[in-house]
Structures are given as structure tokens and as C-alpha cells.
């Protein structure tokens, strides 16, 4: 049975003899899931599905493959959740599994990540950028022109919420390298968006 850390609130979702709140931390959810709490599994999915799917989508550039990869990731995580060592953050572990699954799928030839030529990005009008949906789509296309190692570092930090030190350990590179990669990715994104707009985006820094 799962015991919530906090008093019941409107976010509490009782089910059977377990209760899961939105505020529960990952370690609590992982422990509950390892003990067989269905709602804890559901909460972990809700909390992390976007990050896993987002990484896979940026890796493969294809929604169907990204969904297959996300499913594979959660199968692996659920299968071994009882072995998770709480000394590391759950999101760090999840990021590592996600990255490995994507790499394994690519190596196995099940799907190949296709690079995108920045020149093929369709120009958007400045007015379009008021629309978050349009901007989000442009950003996702821009993500695909990033160097894979830069995209990996940016995803670790922005999708999975890893610190530079955690990302560095997972990627096996120094912290300074993560810092450079994240910065490089951001600079490229702003540059690509500026180019997509026709070069008139607020004087963003030019591509080196």
C-alpha cells in the first residue's frame, strides 16, 4: 500500500487501497511502483512520457518510431524498476535508458535518424511566431539540424531536467563539454529560426 507524503488534497486520486498525489516525488513513486502500485506506474508515465517521447521524436524525426521507442523504454524501465538504485535520480536513469533504446534501434536498422538540411526549412512569417504551435513545429524541425551530441545534451537538460553534472556523467563527458554542447545547440536553434524567418529575428547572433 502506498502512503502519501502529504495530507490528501484535491489532487489525490484514490484507487483501491493506494493513493497517489501529483506532488509525489519520483523516489516515492518508484518505490510504490516496485511494490506493485498501479497508480504509481500511471503517475510515472504521466510525469515522464513527454520527455521520453520528445527525445525519441528528436532522434528519429518520426512520430510512429518515436512512439515505438517510448514504449520500448517504458517496457524496460517497468521490467527492472525493482532494481533501480535510488542514489541516482530516476530521470537520470530514464534518460540513459531512453538514449540507449534509441541508439539500439538505430543500430539494429529498425529506424535511421534522418538529418535535416537547414536550407529545407520552410520560411515562416514573423506573424507566425506569435502562434506557439507554429513556433513549436519550427523548433522541432530546427532540432533535427543540431549535431546529435548537441541535441543529446540539450535534451538531457531541458527535457529530462538533468543538471550539467548529471548529464556529463550519463554522457561520459566533462561538465564543461555539456555546457558547451547545450550552448551550441541553443545558439544553433536561434540561428536556424532566424534563417527560417528570413533573417529578421531580433538581431539574433549570426551562425559562425
Q: Please, are residues 116 and 61 in contact by the beta-carbon 8 Å criterion? A: yes
Question: Does residue number 53 form part of the binding site for other proteins (CB under 8 A)?
Answer: yes
Residue from the set 12, 13, 71, 173 that interacts with other proteins by CB under 8 A: 71
Q: How far is CA 197 from CA 126, 160, 206, in A?
A: 6, 29, 13
Residue 13 binding other proteins, by CB under 8 A: no
CA distance 119 to 117: 5
Q: Which of 19, 20, 24, 44 binds other proteins (CB under 8 A)?
A: 44
Cα-based torsion angle of the residue sequence 141, 144, 150, 154 in order, rounded to the nearest 10 degrees: 40
Question: Pick from 182, 192, 196, 197: which binds other proteins (CB under 8 A)?
Answer: 182
Select the span of 6-14, 19-27, 30-38, 117-125 touching other proteins (CB under 8 A): 30-38
Q: Is 205 in the site for other proteins (CB under 8 A)?
A: yes
Site for other proteins in 95-154 (CB under 8 A): 96-97, 100-101, 104, 110, 132-133, 135-136, 139-140
Return left, alpha or beta for 78; rule: phi > 0 is left, psi -120 to 50 is alpha, else beta. alpha
Count of residues that bind other proteins according to CB under 8 A: 75
Cell of 145: 539540424
Amino acid at each position: 500500500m502506498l502512503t502519501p507524503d502529504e495530507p490528501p488534497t484535491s489532487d489525490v486520486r484514490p484507487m483501491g487501497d493506494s493513493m497517489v498525489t501529483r506532488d509525489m516525488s519520483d523516489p516515492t513513486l518508484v518505490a510504490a511502483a516496485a511494490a506493485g502500485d498501479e497508480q504509481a506506474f500511471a503517475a510515472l508515465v504521466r510525469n515522464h512520457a513527454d520527455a521520453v517521447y520528445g527525445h525519441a521524436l528528436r532522434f528519429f524525426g518520426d512520430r510512429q518510431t518515436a512512439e515505438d521507442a517510448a514504449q520500448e523504454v517504458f517496457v524496460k524501465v517497468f521490467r527492472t524498476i525493482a532494481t533501480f538504485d535510488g542514489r541516482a535520480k530516476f530521470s537520470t536513469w530514464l534518460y540513459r535508458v531512453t538514449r540507449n533504446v534509441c541508439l539500439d534501434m538505430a543500430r539494429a536498422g529498425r529506424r535511421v535518424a534522418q538529418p535535416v538540411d537547414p536550407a529545407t526549412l520552410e520560411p515562416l512569417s514573423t506573424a507566425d511566431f506569435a502562434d506557439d504551435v507554429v513556433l513549436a513545429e519550427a523548433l522541432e524541425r530546427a532540432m533535427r539540424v543540431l549535431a546529435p551530441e548537441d541535441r543529446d545534451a540539450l535534451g538531457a537538460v531541458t527535457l529530462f531536467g538533468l543538471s550539467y553534472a548529471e548529464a556529463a556523467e550519463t554522457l561520459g563527458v566533462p561538465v564543461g563539454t555539456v555546457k558547451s554542447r547545450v550552448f551550441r545547440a541553443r545558439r544553433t536553434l536561434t540561428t536556424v529560426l532566424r534563417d527560417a524567418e528570413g533573417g529578421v529575428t531580433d538581431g539574433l547572433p549570426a551562425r559562425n
